[in-house]
Amino acid sequence: MVRLWSVSLLLIELLLWPGSALSHQPWEELLYEPEFPLELDSPSGSLWPLPQSVHIAPEVYRLSAVTFQIVHSPFSTAWVGCSILDSAFRRYFYYIFSSSAQSRQPGPVGGGGTGAVELERLQVTVTASDPECNQHPSITSNEVYEISITQPVATLKAENVWGVLRGLETFSQLVYEDEYDTHLINKTEIVDSPRFAHRGILLDTSRHYLPLKVIFETLDAMSFNKFNVFHWHIVDDPSFPYQSITFPELSAQGAYHPVTHIYTMADVTMVIEYARERGIRVVPEFDTPGHTQSWKGQRNLLTPCYNGEKLSGTFGPINPSLNTTYDFLNQFFKEVSLMFPDAYIHLGGDEVNFECWESNPAITQFMQEQGFGSDYKKLESFYIKKVLDIVTANLKGYMVWQEVFDNGVKIKPDTVVEVWMERNMKAELSKVTLAGFTTILAAPWYLDYITYGQDWQKYYRVEPLNFNGTAAQKKLVIGGEACLWGEYVDATNLASRLWPRASAVGERLWSSTETTDLKDAYKRLAKHRCRMVRRGIPAEPLFVGYCDNEYKG
């Protein structure tokens, strides 16, 4: 009965998601449901996302919280004064040895603690002359690492700190406990690197305000899944929680509460630093000219709407006909550029409703003066081109939603176009990359859409490069994002709705194209989900069952 019910739901999903990669799969293969009794062991243990190359041998070593150390190699260029790694060493020591940190399950290959020799330490070597200890991660950051586990000393090598952070997460996932609570690890060799450079999570903090604690928790979980971009959709129509120093009235009038539901400069700085310590970029999004109803704190910024010849008392998108609009935006984005250190700002540009512009006689006159006729897409393009020039003048690159490209706006060659519309997704990827633009994919990974059952499998099956295009075009797809829009999400349900569903996206963007076995993925993800729960992330269960730590007293 469960299997028939699941298939029915999946058929309904196919009707709702016509552009999904799943729609091309035979329906019998769409869902993997484990039989019971369920054996959860995978040859790769609980590794998630699966490394590019991993060999786990039967030989087993013990780790003792009293003697084991994570240390810098004497040959490492980061062995002195690299606070980002010093903090990471402490953090991962806790993850490994906390009383609630690991599973009682046997290891991926087997063996036990009796008679096992002790692994004394993990020795970390950074090889680059500049280890990037005091820098922020970027789109070009090198996350390659190698792990060799053999007694008495295991080694972790990477070019810079970003690779070390990814390697520490992998090392921690290799440690397990036997029935006597002995910490064990198998002899292992790993060479690993991400398939895509941009692996993002989008959070919406406008529709519901998210406390800093929830954002920090999400950043932790992102590091457990090797995501490296926090796309912060910080403001939108419902509220403006970003507290601008230059224009404080934006949050004073636009936030749900001008004191309790805002992000101050100190808050933003803490989020950026917390993310940096986990190898995560913070890319803010200030979406205009639409999605700006909360920008009412700036006088004469929004377009007054008319009902016939009279003002209706409502407002539409940002008014593109006034010079004061661009004076404001220049000052505002100058502040944002200084506040957020990443090389990119997301400028939105999606879903602009033209009705208010059409009703406004001043806008109509401006359209005639500019020779736009009645084509309001030209007016939108005029506005966006101005904004792009402003951001460029402030030495920032920009990301935009696909409508900016679709509407023919003249954009810089290094613009990142985010494809979000599920229908005709493959055709859109072909068009954007054929035009030579760097692209990220969000369309199949809108996690705010939920269903009954294991929809993580739908996200897992997506192949980002499954579109018509040359090899050169496909190189322009630099990754993707799992998006959790906030209409029905706040602090009470964010983590359980996001994880482990987003974990499926994480493996798709990190691991090789050959990593597609759903049965093996289920076995690893079930353990990984339990590990996230043990680390304080209330990730929802994949299916029926239990986590081993539930039996720990």
Give the pLDDT score at 548: 84
Handedness of CA 333, 336, 341, 343 (dihedral sign): negative
Query: Pick the catalytic residue: 273, 351, 355, 463?
Result: 351
Give the pLDDT score at 266: 98
Q: Which two tokens stand for residue 472?
A: 């050169």
Give the pLDDT score at 29: 44
- Which of 386, 394, 398, 311 is CA-nearest to residue 356? 311
d(CA 130, CA 277): 17
Handedness of CA 32, 45, 178, 103 (dihedral sign): negative
Residue 340's alpha-carbon distances to 37, 265, 282, 408, in angstroms, are 51, 10, 7, 28
Residue 379's alpha-carbon distances to 244, 287, 320, 365, 385, in angstroms, are 28, 17, 8, 12, 10
pTM, two decimals, is 0.91
Give the pLDDT score at 150: 96
Q: What is the block-wise mean pLDDT of the chain (553 residues), using blocks of 10 residues?
A: 37 40 39 58 95 97 96 95 97 85 46 75 97 97 98 97 98 94 96 98 98 98 98 98 98 98 98 98 97 97 94 96 97 98 96 93 95 93 94 94 93 94 96 98 97 95 97 98 98 98 98 97 96 96 89 58
- Burial degree of 1 (CB within 10 A; 0-12, 13-18, 19+): exposed
d(CA 261, CA 255): 6
- Residue 234 contacts residue 205 (beta carbons within 8 Å): yes
Q: What is the DSSP letter of 308?
A: T
Give the pLDDT score at 379: 94
d(CA 467, CA 419): 13
Give the pLDDT score at 4: 36
- Residue 251 contacts residue 222 (beta carbons within 8 Å): no
Pairing of strands 344-346, 310-318: unpaired
**Whose structure tokens read 């996200």?**
459
d(CA 372, CA 463): 40
- Residue 263 contacts residue 272 (beta carbons within 8 Å): no
Give the pLDDT score at 16: 40
- First-to-last alpha carbon distance for the chain, in angstroms, is 36
Q: Where are the beta strands (DSSP E) in 359-472?
A: 397-401, 416-419, 438-441
Give the pLDDT score at 31: 63
**Residue 119 β-bridge partners:** none
Give the pLDDT score at 34: 67
Give the pLDDT score at 550: 79
Residues 6+ apart with CB under 8 A from 475: none
Residues 6+ apart with CB under 8 A from 418: 346, 399, 400, 401, 402, 439, 440, 441, 442, 481
User: Is 351 among the residues known to form the active site?
Assistant: yes
d(CA 552, CA 192): 33
d(CA 173, CA 49): 10
d(CA 67, CA 46): 25
d(CA 42, CA 118): 24
Residue 500's alpha-carbon distances to 440, 454, 455, 527, in angstroms, are 21, 10, 10, 11
DSSP code string of 87-132: HHHHHHHHHHHSTTSS--S--SS---STTPEEP-EEEEEE-SSS--
Q: Which two tokens stand for residue 547?
A: 């986590």
Q: Which helix (H) or strand (E) holds 170?
A: helix 161-174
Q: Which helix (H) or strand (E) holds 56?
A: strand 53-63
